Structure 1
Amino acid sequence: MKDSPNSETLPQETRIGRTALRVNDRDEVTEFYRTVVGLGVLDESETRSVLGVADTPLLVLEADPDAAERRRSGAGLYHTAFRVPSRAALGDALARIRENSRLTGASDHWVSEALYLTDPEGNGIEIYRDLPREEWPRSDDDSVRIGTEPLALDTIEAAGTGAARTPPGTDIGHIHLEVTSLDAFRDFYVETLEFDVQTTVPAAAFVSAGGYHHHIGANTWQQRTAPVDGRGLSWFEVIIPEREALTAVRSRLEERGIPVTETDGDLVVHDPDEIEIRIRVDSA
């Protein structure tokens, strides 16, 4: 198990791409992400909405009116984390949340400042901004330390500019999953995909590439026992900067007997909780 950064891992520029949610009421959920999160609608049809910032898609909403509510025992999404580029953008997000929704939490994580809320169908959302990387606390092995302390919301509010939209530079900084087993999570995401463990806390682990505080979080706080199903997380993307690294990932998956399919050059795999991951080369 790789519990600290090492040279035999994913490339430093690896990042999270789009997240896709399966929703019952596409119109309502689209309006929520437009009004509250501040995303723009980039493409829309009867069956899906694509939302993002400028020309960059971040979130795909797949309409499925017949999808059952996620089982209480089912693995899946804890939250999608939208990373904004400044405290001013975070202040604007706070204002939109207070005006149009409800804030469910706010934390200073030592590496970031984060706001939490939930969309109309129960999908968790984090909106956050990173603190300067050189200020992140680190352990002796150079892994990042992540804490949770109260966030001074008055300073966040004071930084806002009144913007109704998230600015260019916003992306999905990480995704946090609810899983059935942290051992199985590590075996797949660390030993096979080769993310590095950055931080562990009781019943949770946070992994990344390139020394980032985390690209993927996982927890067993709700003691989920069944694979992903029903409404909620449909799939998410891991974007790798070069074709050689993608080929290496495919080789590791095949060596471990993990089924891999390919669609338009993307690798499509499923983790131990049957969560779909689409791995592709960065086209930017």
Structure 2
Amino acid sequence: MTNTHQKTNSLNEFASFGAIHLNNTNLEKATLFWTEIVGLYPRKVSGSTAEFGTETQTLVVVHQAAKKRFVKGYSGLYHFAIHAPHKKAFASMLNRLVVHNYPFSSVDHTMSKSIYLDDPDGINIEFTLETPKRFKRMHTDGGLKIEDSEGVIRSASDYLDVGEVLKDLDLENTSNFISNNTYIGHLHLYANLVESSKAFYEKIGFIPFNYLPQFMYADLSAGGAYQHRIALNSWHGKNRSLAPSEHAGLNYFQIVFNTKENLNKALANVSKYEEKEEGFYVNDATGNSILLTHASEV
């Protein structure tokens, strides 16, 4: 990883995310979405595959490999998150949606501020601004709630004032493209069983943050202040299979370990992997495909 956030996090996080690979039904519609709506640079097109990202790195790769839209009710991808490096960048991401009159929902999770939207095939994407200093702890009595750093108990999905967010917009720099320090910051997955998926990610090095079986939810960190890097839920129902391959959705995602040693530790703790030129492919407990690499390979 080459962006500023990943360089900073390399001091205390053992892994980060590479590109997210998606299967979509229409490359032209996907290209319009990722460039005009999201503001990613078109980096490379090869046949039925297109790469989008910042000037320096690819964040999303779209494969025109699906015949049907994303369908709910299956295990697999719940959403993935594109993280803004600072308030101005987050305001710019939101402003682009407002300018294009693109539908979205806004939520304050205390540990982060979030904007949710769907791509043309119904795949959910989150824009995130990390705010871990605002978070103190979770509360589970009477529902899932969060205590902030000032001791205020709030909803886990509280109201986000988009007007306040837009006050940070840099009116002198409303570029059509996203900040170069933008990064893939977390993934949230529908797990067929939360406990088995949690165990898998622990085996490859991720650190448990919240494990709330009564809410069919868990999340894990990579060792940094923001501890919501991999999230898991079974809100769609337990023991659900992955969606049929003809539907749009996750193809695979990439985890980049900061050292070769950490990659080797992860590989030693998985039951099976396939080595290819670009790295090592494994499946998590639900069946999601993951490419494991280490930083010097990216």
**Matched residue type, 1:152:** D
- Show the counterpart of 1:76: 76
Q: Deviations over 1:212-237 (max 9, x none)?
A: 32111111112261124332100001
- Show the counterpart of 1:48: 49
Residue 57 of structure 1, CA deviation: 0.6
Root mean square deviation, CA, Å: 2.1
**For the Cα contact (< 8 Å) 1:103–1:115, is it kept in 2?**
no
Residue 153 of structure 1, CA deviation: 1.0
CA distance in 1, matches of 2:164, 2:127: 16
- Show the counterpart of 2:159: 150
Structure 2: runs of 5 or more not aligned: 1-11, 139-145, 149-155
Q: TM-score, normalised by structure 2?
A: 0.82
CA distance in 2, matches of 1:157, 1:78: 27
CA distance in 1, matches of 2:71, 2:133: 41
Residue 200 of structure 1, CA deviation: 3.9
**For the Cα contact (< 8 Å) 2:114–2:127, is it kept in 1?**
yes
**Matched residue type, 1:264:** E
**For the Cα contact (< 8 Å) 2:40–2:178, is it kept in 1?**
yes
**Matched residue type, 1:74:** Y
Residue 108 of structure 1, CA deviation: 1.5
CA distance in 2, matches of 1:107, 1:199: 19
Residue 71 of structure 1, CA deviation: 4.7
CA distance in 1, matches of 2:72, 2:163: 36
Matched, 1:277 2:284: no
CA distance in 2, matches of 1:103, 1:73: 22
**For the Cα contact (< 8 Å) 1:36–1:101, is it kept in 2?**
no
**For the Cα contact (< 8 Å) 1:78–1:177, is it kept in 2?**
yes
- Show the counterpart of 2:210: 199
CA distance in 2, matches of 1:207, 1:270: 17
CA distance in 2, matches of 1:103, 1:220: 26
- Show the counterpart of 1:179: 191
**For the Cα contact (< 8 Å) 2:70–2:122, is it kept in 1?**
no
Q: Deviations over 1:238-257 (max 9, x none)?
A: 1101111111111111xxxx
SS in 1 for 2:78: strand
Alpha-carbon distance change, 58 to 265 in structure 1, aligned in 2, over 3 angstroms: closer
**For the Cα contact (< 8 Å) 2:257–2:293, is it kept in 1?**
yes
**For the Cα contact (< 8 Å) 2:123–2:248, is it kept in 1?**
no
Matches within 5 A, 1:1-284: 12-64=13-65, 66-131=66-131, 133-138=132-137, 147-161=156-170, 162-190=174-202, 192-201=203-212, 202-211=215-224, 212-223=226-237, 225-229=240-244, 230-253=247-270, 258-264=271-277, 266-283=279-296
Alpha-carbon distance change, 205 to 234 in structure 1, aligned in 2, over 3 angstroms: same
**For the Cα contact (< 8 Å) 2:41–2:53, is it kept in 1?**
yes
**Matched residue type, 2:223:** G
**For the Cα contact (< 8 Å) 2:56–2:180, is it kept in 1?**
no
Question: Which 4+ runs in 1 deviate beyond 3 A?
Answer: 66-73, 101-104, 133-136, 144-147
SS in 2 for 1:267: strand
Identity score, percent:
23
**For the Cα contact (< 8 Å) 1:237–1:279, is it kept in 2?**
yes
- Count of residues in Structure 1 that have an aligned counterpart in Structure 2: 263
Q: Deviations over 1:27-70 (max 9, x none)?
A: 10121011111110110122101000112111000111x53444
**For the Cα contact (< 8 Å) 1:42–1:55, is it kept in 2?**
no
Structure 1: runs of 5 or more not aligned: 1-10
SS in 2 for 1:159: coil
**Matched residue type, 1:154:** G
**Matched residue type, 1:19:** I
Alpha-carbon distance change, 59 to 231 in structure 1, aligned in 2, over 3 angstroms: same
